[in-house]
Structure 1
Amino acid sequence: MRILVLGSTGFLGGHVAGQLRTLAGVRVLGGGRSVNPGLPVNLPVDLAAISVAGLVRALRALAPDAVVNCAGAVSGDPVRMAETNARGPAVLCEALREAAPGARLVHLGSAAEYGPTPAGQTLTESSPVSPQGTYGATKLAGSYAVTEAGATGLDTVVLRVFNPVGPGAPAASLSGRLAGELRSAGPDGTVRVGDLSAYRDFVDVRDVARAAVLAATATGPLPPVLNIGSGTATCARDLASELARAAGFQGRIEERGAGSQRSSAVSWQRADVTAAAVALDWRPELTLADSLTGLWAEHTRVPA
């Protein structure tokens, strides 16, 4: 089985590709804006810019049985996010329709597509979507492109990923940014952050990767959208405290300012992951403590 992982050098894509490489009978093909020397075949491609015709030629040459799209832009200017998160999946679907119509497309969406929900509410795949900001809106547009392609003949599934944490978490994420601040502050320093009162569903990136692997290799049709989260809402303040414990940090974490705009607009999220359990026999296995211990262990191995 030949599986193409787009965004294979990123946070999510790297873990997906790594897990796929452990499977017998699977050949992993890496694709993205930067090449992955650890993969046997690389497809240098930028979904934000490539034409449908150009991607058709590349896909025909690779002949994948499945594609896992982990490519995405979480920050930057609105044009780049729109090109990557919205245009990219649409181009990919059109190219697959022509070059590999039998291939399964597993697209990694985002919980940011849901937007604000009342405190205490659990989000199912049928919950209303009302994204706040460019990131959530562009991710939702990309997911719409994938689900509409699935409704018209392609074999697709959107994994709506909640807040991934764990080894390799990027600096743009809350956990990655905190890890960097804790390392800079030293064991007894002071870390200053914004408001940490928002509740999020934090899920280990390795559990997310396992869900993507199961979706890519499953037989038979899958639901159009599946939530991938821990099923638990955790206060960001508790995440910071747990990461401080993992780091042996004895200093102070001071909350100053309002925090991010999204945190103030979306103060609560929790996933219902029942559908993923039914469709994929998937359940989260790693705890938040596991995630943050792994993050800190890897973070301290990276030179300053």
Structure 2
Amino acid sequence: MNIVVLGASGFLGTHICRALTEAGDRVITLPAGFDLVTAGPERIAAFAAEADAVVNAAGRAWKADEPQMHTGNVELPLRVIRGLALLDRRPTLVQLGSSHEYGPGTSGAGTHESTDPAPVTPYGRTKLLGARAVLDAARDGAQPGVVLRIANVCGPGTPPGSLLGSVAGRLVRLAGEPGPAGAPAELRLPPLHAWRDFVDVRDVADAVLCTVRADAAEVAGQVINIGSGAAVHTRDLVTRLIAVSGLPVRVVEEAPAGGQSRVDTEWQQLDVSRAAKVLGWEPRRSLDQSLRDLLAAA
């Protein structure tokens, strides 16, 4: 198959391109200087003319304000939809969404795709608007598309702006800095109180592969959760990553300046039963394997 991958050089995009290539697909990426945010519909259509599917792994998350997130997470997919709508043979658009589109989950339970989204962060709000644009176009018959609503992602290459990426980077630095004999190093972090669903980035890439292989008529217009199906406490998560490193490190949780924590949800866990039923997909890599590979890559 011919698969266009937008955001091919990013964390998710890199692993998706590798999985597609290893499966025998031809991966098409944007040429240098091609800016999706400013490109006209005709240019986007010409670029994707041979595509069987378009995977949108582009967007803004880390170190971006809400207007920047709106540009990357809302305006970009809208431009892609308008461009693909000009094609006689329209490829399926696979939009990579986020579990943060749902907002607060119910403690002890997984969030199903039928749940009404109520995001509480700029990232969640802008990702939801982008997802709705894809779903509306699919339901109107303008452009076939599916949204993979993805949990928190970990594994090799995890961005340094994320909790796990940040901790891994600091552990690597601590390993190269000799400290006082017998004294554990201190790792200062904001309060770790949330529960999160973490899925390996390579499992996400496998889910994308299953999606582009699926019958377009069966997946079009659907939201499909991609996660581990289990929630883990972030404090336990950091403790497990430190244990993998083998370093004597003591975590110190401290409130941010001003005493205000960021607005976020306490519990996020995805119900991934639809992915198993519709895509034949399920997560294969354990959290500990993801943490080991994350640290090795860092």
**2:219 matched to 1:222?**
yes
Q: Decide whether aligned partners of structure 1 residues 218 and 118 sit closer, same or farther in structure 2, where only a CA change above 3 A counts.
A: closer
Separation of aligned partners in 1, 2:205 and 2:269: 19
SS state at 1:175 partner: helix
Aligned length: 285
TM-superposed CA distance for 1:261, in Å, is 4.7
Contact 1:47-1:87 within 8 A present in 2 as well: no
TM-superposed CA distance for 1:217, in Å, is 1.8
1:246 aligned partner: 244
Contact 1:30-1:43 within 8 A present in 2 as well: no
SS state at 2:29 partner: strand
Separation of aligned partners in 2, 1:99 and 1:208: 28
1:234 aligned partner: 232
Larger radius of gyration: 2
**2:193 matched to 1:206?**
no
2:52 aligned partner: 65
Separation of aligned partners in 2, 1:192 and 1:120: 28
Contact 1:59-1:100 within 8 A present in 2 as well: no
- The aligned amino acid for 1:281 is G
**2:91 matched to 1:103?**
yes
Contact 1:167-1:295 within 8 A present in 2 as well: yes
Contact 1:105-1:216 within 8 A present in 2 as well: no
Unaligned runs of 5+ in 1: 32-41, 300-304
CA distances 1:23-64 after superposition (whole Å, capped 9, x unpaired): 13x211123xxxxxxxxxx4653333322233223223xx11
Point out the more displaced range, 276-285 or 128-137. Answer: 128-137
1:139 aligned partner: 127
RCO higher in 1 or 2 (8 Å CA, sep ≥ 6)?
2
Separation of aligned partners in 2, 1:281 and 1:144: 24
**2:129 matched to 1:129?**
no
Separation of aligned partners in 2, 1:211 and 1:260: 37
TM-superposed CA distance for 1:260, in Å, is 8.7
TM-superposed CA distance for 1:172, in Å, is 1.1
Pick from 248, 253, 256: which aligns with 1:255?
253
2:106 aligned partner: 118
Separation of aligned partners in 2, 1:101 and 1:158: 20
Separation of aligned partners in 1, 2:196 and 2:47: 38
CA distances 1:244-297 after superposition (whole Å, capped 9, x unpaired): 0111121211111159955x5301011000000001100011111010000001
TM-superposed CA distance for 1:197, in Å, is 1.3
Percent of aligned positions with the same letter in both sequences? 39
Instruction: Calculate the TM-score normalised by the size of structure 2.
Output: 0.91
TM-superposed CA distance for 1:213, in Å, is 0.9
Alignment of 1:153-192 (within 5 A): 153=141, 154-186=143-175, 188-192=184-188
Contact 1:64-1:100 within 8 A present in 2 as well: no
1:280 aligned partner: 279
- The aligned amino acid for 1:8 is A
Instruction: Calculate the TM-score normalised by the size of structure 1.
Output: 0.89
- The aligned amino acid for 1:203 is V
- The aligned amino acid for 1:183 is V
Pick from 119, 138, 163: which aligns with 1:150?
138
Pick from 185, 193, 211: which aligns with 1:197?
193
Unaligned runs of 5+ in 2: 177-183
